[in-house]
Chains A and B, each alone.
Chain A
Amino acid sequence: MSGSAPKERSLCAAVEARLPAFVDRSLPSGERELVECHLEECDRCARAREELLAVVRTVAEDRPSAEEIEPLLFRLGPALDTLAAGRRTPRRVFFAAAAALLLALPVLTKLPKPDTSLERLVSVGRLIERPISRTVAPLRDLGASPLAGAER
């Protein structure tokens, strides 16, 4: 294509405006076909497409290497360890507590129930309240031998 005629020049301008979308594969299919037809016969526009594709390739290829990530990951390590420990601990504690409860359950169910009946509480209360002399008196009675009267 000579590119000299005004009509052809305007077509080239229209195609060139669509080239970024064309190389990005985001041009609607109808327009894409028109651009493809034009590129087959226009060297100037075809070169422009190649240049854009080279730009896309170079940008996409320019990525940090895996080796560049390692020192950053190393620096992250202590903070990640702290977070990881914090995330694991509550779960671990929960499971440990649950396991302890399950193990203790049979023992707990077989323990004798404390006698909390009213009579028992009352008798314990009386025992506590009883004066020492009254508690000791029966001992004196126990000690009353047949010889006691003789002594008197």
Chain B
Amino acid sequence: MEPSDRELVEQAARGDRPAFDALVRRHGPAVLNLLRRALGRDDAVNDLFQDTFLRAFRAIDRLKEPERLRSWLATIAMNRVRRHFERARNPRVLYGPTGGGEDETLVEPSDPPGDADPAEEAERRERTALLRAAIERLPPRQRAVLSLRLDFELPYREIAEMLEITEENARACHYQALRSLRRLLAPRRAAKREDRG
């Protein structure tokens, strides 16, 4: 049986590297996704990933509720994002206007699993690339809320605290993001329906 977050946190707090590595492997994908979605096409994604986990390791012995590790990591990551944009004198990430409108992907979709059907895999990659382009066209705050809700599965109350907005605002951001993504992806769905017809 895999050790719980609590067990790994307690071991990592005593300086146990393998325990902390296990936490990075477990929660790293969600943190990386949050950073990619919040920052868009920014070279700083990997640096902020490192920074987030270094800060987490430094402070892990002060984490009072290890079962809330995931939202704690999300908070650290979002603080790093905010600082990054403050330093760049570009606080657009959470409060500014919408992101760019180009149809480029944020990053290349991950490599396919070895045994996937090539046609299905091509379809998946296309869908992912379109989705990422659509997400990048959302306003930064909507992107952040979308990731915190779907990648971290956080309640709106926590999302609101993290982004210093009201709970209602957090809900509205998420709902609007879903509506916008549906609309942005609609032309592709219509074309698919026509192909099938």
Contacts and interface: CB of A to CB of B under 8 A. Distances in A.
B36 to A, nearest CB: 8
Q: Categorize the interface residue count of chain A.
A: 20 to 34
A51 B131 CA distance: 13
Contact of A20 (B50, B109, B179): B179
Contacts of B50: 72, 75-76, 79
Given A26-B156, A64-B33, A73 B21 contact: yes
Given A51-B186, A58-B127, A69-B24, A81 B175 contact: no
Nearest to A85: B15
Contacts of B20: 80, 84
Interface stretch (B52-60, B64-72, B78-86, B91-99): B52-60
Interface string B13-41: 01111001100110011101100100000
Interface string B132-161: 100100000000001001110000100000
Interface in A16-33: 20-21, 23-24, 26
Q: Categorize the interface residue count of chain B.
A: 35 or more
B178 interface: yes
Nearest to A87: B15
Nearest to A55: B181
A59 B156 contact: no
A51 B185 CA distance: 9
Contacts of B57: 80, 83-84
B151 A63 contact: yes
A120 interface: no
A73 B14 contact: no
Nearest to B135: A59
Interface string A63-94: 11111110011011001110111011001000
A143 B197 CA distance: 137
**Is chain A's binding surface mostly helix, strand, loop or mixed?**
helix
A68 B179 CA distance: 30
A73 B179 contact: no
A87 B58 CA distance: 9
A60 B24 contact: no
A21 to B, nearest CB: 6
Nearest to A58: B131
B17 to A, nearest CB: 5
Nearest to B17: A84
Contact of B15 (A55, A76, A84): A84
A85 to B, nearest CB: 7
Interface of A: 20-21, 23-24, 26, 48, 51-52, 55-56, 58-60, 62-69, 72-73, 75-76, 79-81, 83-85, 87-88, 91
7 contacts: A24-B174, A52-B178, A60-B151, A63-B30, A63-B33, A76-B50, A80-B54
Instruction: Report, nearest first, the 3 A-B pairs whose CB atoms are least far apart.
Output: A20-B175, A87-B15, A69-B28
Given A62-B132, A76-B24, A80-B17, 16 more contacts: A24-B178, A26-B156, A55-B181, A55-B185, A56-B150, A60-B151, A64-B29, A64-B32, A64-B33, A65-B110, A73-B21, A76-B50, A76-B53, A84-B16, A84-B57, A85-B15
